[in-house]
Amino acid sequence: MKDLAILFLLTVGLCEMTYSQKVEPFHKGERVAFVGNSITDGGHYHSYIWLYYMTRFPDQRIDIFNCGIGGDCSGDILKRLDDDVFNRNPTTIFLTFGMNDVGYYDFYKSNAAEIAREKIQKSIDSYQKIEKRLKEQTNARKILIAGSPYDETAKFKKEVFPKKNDAILEIVEFQQKNASDNRWGFVDFSRPMTEINLREQKRDSSYTLCGQDRIHPGNDGHMVMAYLLLKTQGLAGKEVADMKIDASQKKVNEVINCEVSELAITPASVQFNYLAKSLPYPLDTFPEGWMEAKRQSDAMALVPFMEEFNREMLYVKGLTGKTYTLKIDGAMIGSWPAHKFAEGLNLASITKTPQYMQAMQVMVLNEERWEIERRLRSYYWMQFSFFRDKGMLFADNQAALDTLGKYAPGNIFVAGNKGNYVKSRFKTVRETWNKEMDLLLNEIYTINKPVSHKMEIVQNN
């Protein structure tokens, strides 16, 4: 418990240091676009954020769109605003850039600082054109994101581009000031994640949130990013549910975000019906994604997500026996001393409750949706990162296929996306994938409604 308290204080301090500007939570019916580079394109943070809304606000459907393209700088994003962002009619637009803008191997050159300044200015110049276009979208909220950092301090064999992250931080500072000047929201992933890296590297010098290429966060890093954004939205401290029962007085003292009914108390048991308005947040315990080694749940050791965002609390005081067993819908969940019930059990941390298993189904379907979305993003990567420069944007004809075959042997990225493109170049295939995602979302927003459970707290012999 002491370690958790220290972690909480450290993380609160990190978030206060970032000066993130408050971002209003999403409302029912919102269409949210996350625009960025490969960290957005292939990453999970926006999907984890959506999962929070799916489980915490089950009656408030929103739509979130991955508008990331691997390798993009701000200039590349500018070119695809109409075809990949504004065409989705977003009500909220998140924008991040910087990792690719400052370059890579130029940091080895003797005039690296001069080159970096030129690249930073070029990035800002392109962004200012984006800014103008964003201001034309008068009905959409705009939020700038300072993206995840480049990790120069982790000790492992992958090469380091010296002072690359310093250059990124210059863009971060510009983004923060620009957001303030425009009275837009601002979310800082960069500095808090750097602080977490430095903190964890005191224990393990090879530790990083930023992947083995020092750039792309794993699932744990993306969950930290989701935590930071949700915190900026002011959602910390909102309970899944909270119920306080006094067995000695045979009454319910307090409920938050739930209903407790038909309370029946005997010397040996406490029984009641429990209907929450939210589901607990499920945490994946398996690495998800190609070549992924980290788990979403690994982030729980890094930030106090459970304490701030995932509390489904059951308090029962006045129990007179030594130990009690909790049953939900007749199934045994676990046994604890009476004082643990009085201190409070966080049911969201118990993965075999029926409500957690219900939330797991939501998570699995959301991952299926994410997998289909990845196919579509690979198609758009091919369009914006390859065919556009060939004058064949959205041609999807035999000439495009022949051009792909010509260049794929000499371009590992094009070659890697070739198989997906051969299928996705057909409009009917893409339309079917979109229908599959709609079907999954309709099912998610059907099965995510909490149901009533019979709760029994029975004294052990």
User: What are the sequence ranges of the domains in the chain?
Assistant: 2-232
Residue 285 confidence (pLDDT) above 70? no
79 vs 66: CA distance, rounded Å = 17
User: What's the pLDDT at 208?
Assistant: 97
> Residue 1: which pLDDT band, with cuts at 50, 70 and 90?
very low
- Computed over every residue of the chain, the mean pLDDT equals 94
User: What's the pLDDT at 12?
Assistant: 46
> Residue 336: which pLDDT band, with cuts at 50, 70 and 90?
very high
DSSP three-state, residue 327: strand
150 vs 190: CA distance, rounded Å = 9
What confidence tens digit (pLDDT) does each residue in 172-189 have?
999 999 999 999 999 999
> Residue 290: which pLDDT band, with cuts at 50, 70 and 90?
low
Residue 233 confidence (pLDDT) above 80? yes
Residue 241 confidence (pLDDT) above 80? yes
Cβ proximity of 131 and 87 under 8 Å? no
> Residue 461: which pLDDT band, with cuts at 50, 70 and 90?
confident
Proportion of the chain above pLDDT 90, given as a percent: 92
Residue 190 confidence (pLDDT) above 60? yes
Average pLDDT for residues 320-336, to the nearest whole number? 97
Residue 277 confidence (pLDDT) above 60? yes
Residue 11 confidence (pLDDT) above 50? no
What confidence tens digit (pLDDT) does each residue in 128-148 have?
999 999 999 889 999 999 999
Q: Provide Rg for the chain, Cα atoms.
A: 24
Average pLDDT for residues 385-390, to the nearest whole number? 96
User: What's the pLDDT at 22?
Assistant: 84
Residue for token pair 């046994």: 335
pTM of the entire predicted model? 0.94
Residue 372 confidence (pLDDT) above 50? yes
User: What's the pLDDT at 21?
Assistant: 75
379 vs 400: CA distance, rounded Å = 13
Cβ proximity of 258 and 241 under 8 Å? yes
Closest CA to 380 of 31, 41, 39, 40: 41
430 vs 167: CA distance, rounded Å = 39
CATH superfamily of 2-232: SGNH hydrolase (3.40.50.1110)
Residue 5 confidence (pLDDT) above 50? no
Is 157 exposed, middle or buried, given 0-12, 13-18 or 19+ CB atoms closer than 10 A?
exposed
Residue 410 confidence (pLDDT) above 80? yes
User: What's the pLDDT at 287?
Assistant: 62
251-256: strand order across its sheet = 251-256, 241-246, 312-317, 345-346
Residues whose CB is less than 8 angstroms from the CB of residue 142 and which lie 6 or more positions away in sequence, other chains included = 92, 93, 95, 134, 182, 184, 185
115 vs 162: CA distance, rounded Å = 13
User: What's the pLDDT at 137?
Assistant: 87
320 vs 157: CA distance, rounded Å = 59
User: What's the pLDDT at 177?
Assistant: 96
269-276: strand order across its sheet = 258-266, 269-276, 453-459, 323-328, 331-337
Average pLDDT for residues 62-86, to the nearest whole number? 98
Average pLDDT for residues 284-300, to the nearest whole number? 75
